[in-house]
């Protein structure tokens, strides 16, 4: 079992709590209110900017050129994701420049940036992996759920958040998550408390959904 798999399995409790969170379930069955989704999209756009910068910082610190190139490409993946957010925000009439950053969002980006600036490439990869693996997991699980719902209406499985699910259920996104996890195998330092770093990021993920649930209510 790889280190990334071990970490995932060890903290699966929090990942499943995220999947079962009413916000995520609401994305899955399309019942999530637009107010909550709007809050989430605006906060996530702010978050993704920090996420892209963390990749770039980790890339600049990579011990070899190959690592730099891969982290640079991963940052490109985030920029693509941000483009999607920008168009969703435009459709919803959200001005991303005027967003007030929430405490849960801020706490997560502070952690990412402090880690990326202060720690090694490997530790930063560990801090970032929960986000990627969790979203791939959520995307895949929600897509399966949508398929398994027996329905008399052919459009039943398609709803306001189907595009969101499709993004994170895509093979392209899974490939990005795997690429980041391979960087953990290559660069994760031994004898560092990686376990706590991974769990903290996962806890931040849960709180991010919880904040969107509460703030968008």
Partner 1 sequence: MSFHQELLTAVAPLWQRKLAHPFLTAVADGSIADATFKTWIAQDYLFVEGSVPFLGLLTAKAPVALRPALGGSITAFNTELGLFEQQMAAHEVTLTREYSPTCHAYLQFLLATAYDRPFEIGFTVLYAAEKAYFDAWERVRTTQTDASKWQAFINNWASDAFRGYVDWLAGTLDELAADATPPMRAEMHSYFRYTTLYEYRFWEMAYTTETWDSPLLLAMPTNAGA
Binding residues for partner 1, per CB under 8 A?
100, 102-104, 106-107, 109-111, 113-115, 117-118, 200, 203, 207, 210-211, 214
Q: Which CB sits closer to partner 1, 111 or 161?
A: 111
* CB of 208 vs partner 1, minimal distance in Å: 10
* CB of 121 vs partner 1, minimal distance in Å: 16
Q: Which CB sits closer to partner 1, 117 or 156?
A: 117
Residues 6+ apart with CB under 8 A from 49: 82
* CB of 104 vs partner 1, minimal distance in Å: 6
* CB of 111 vs partner 1, minimal distance in Å: 5
Q: Which CB sits closer to partner 1, 102 or 130?
A: 102
Instruction: Provide the 10 A C-beta neighbour count for residue 110.
Output: 12
* CB of 78 vs partner 1, minimal distance in Å: 17
Q: Which CB sits closer to partner 1, 68 or 200?
A: 200
Q: Which CB sits closer to partner 1, 71 or 104?
A: 104
Rounded Cα–Cα distance for residues 61 and 119 (Å): 9
* CB of 3 vs partner 1, minimal distance in Å: 22
Transcribe the chain into DSSP letters: --HHHHHHHHTHHHHHHHHHSHHHHHHHHT-S-HHHHHHHHHHHHHHHHHHHHHHHHHHHT-SSHHHHHHHHHHHHHHHHHHHHHHHHHHHHT--GGGPPPPHHHHHHHHHHHHHHHHS-HHHHHHHHHHHHHHHHHHHHHHHHHHHHS--SSTTTT--TTHHHHHHHHSHHHHHHHHHHHHHHHHHPPTTS-HHHHHHHHHHHHHHHHHHHHHHT-
Q: Which CB sits closer to partner 1, 71 or 116?
A: 116
């Amino acid at each position: 079992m790889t280190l990334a798999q071990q970490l995932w399995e060890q903290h699966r409790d929090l990942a499943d709590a995220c999947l079962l969170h009413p916000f995520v379930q609401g994305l899955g069955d399309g019942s999530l209110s637009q107010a909550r989704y709007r809050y989430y999209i605006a906060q996530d756009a702010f978050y993704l900017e920090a996420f892209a910068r963390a990749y770039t910082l980790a890339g600049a610190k990579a011990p070899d050129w190959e690592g730099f190139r891969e982290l640079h490409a991963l940052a490109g993946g985030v920029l693509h994701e941000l483009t999607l957010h920008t168009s969703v925000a435009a459709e919803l009439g959200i001005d991303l420049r005027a967003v007030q950053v929430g405490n849960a969002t801020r706490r997560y980006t502070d952690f990412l940036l402090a880690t990326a600036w202060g720690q090694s490439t490997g530790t930063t990869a560990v801090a970032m992996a929960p986000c990627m693996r969790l979203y791939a997991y959520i995307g895949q699980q929600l897509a399966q759920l949508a398929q398994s719902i027996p329905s008399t209406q052919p459009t039943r499985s398609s709803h306001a958040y189907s595009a969101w699910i499709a993004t994170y259920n895509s093979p392209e996104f899974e490939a990005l998550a795997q690429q980041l996890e391979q960087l953990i195998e290559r660069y994760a330092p031994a004898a560092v408390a990686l376990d706590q770093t991974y769990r903290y990021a996962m806890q931040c993920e849960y709180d991010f959904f919880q904040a969107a649930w509460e703030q968008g209510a």
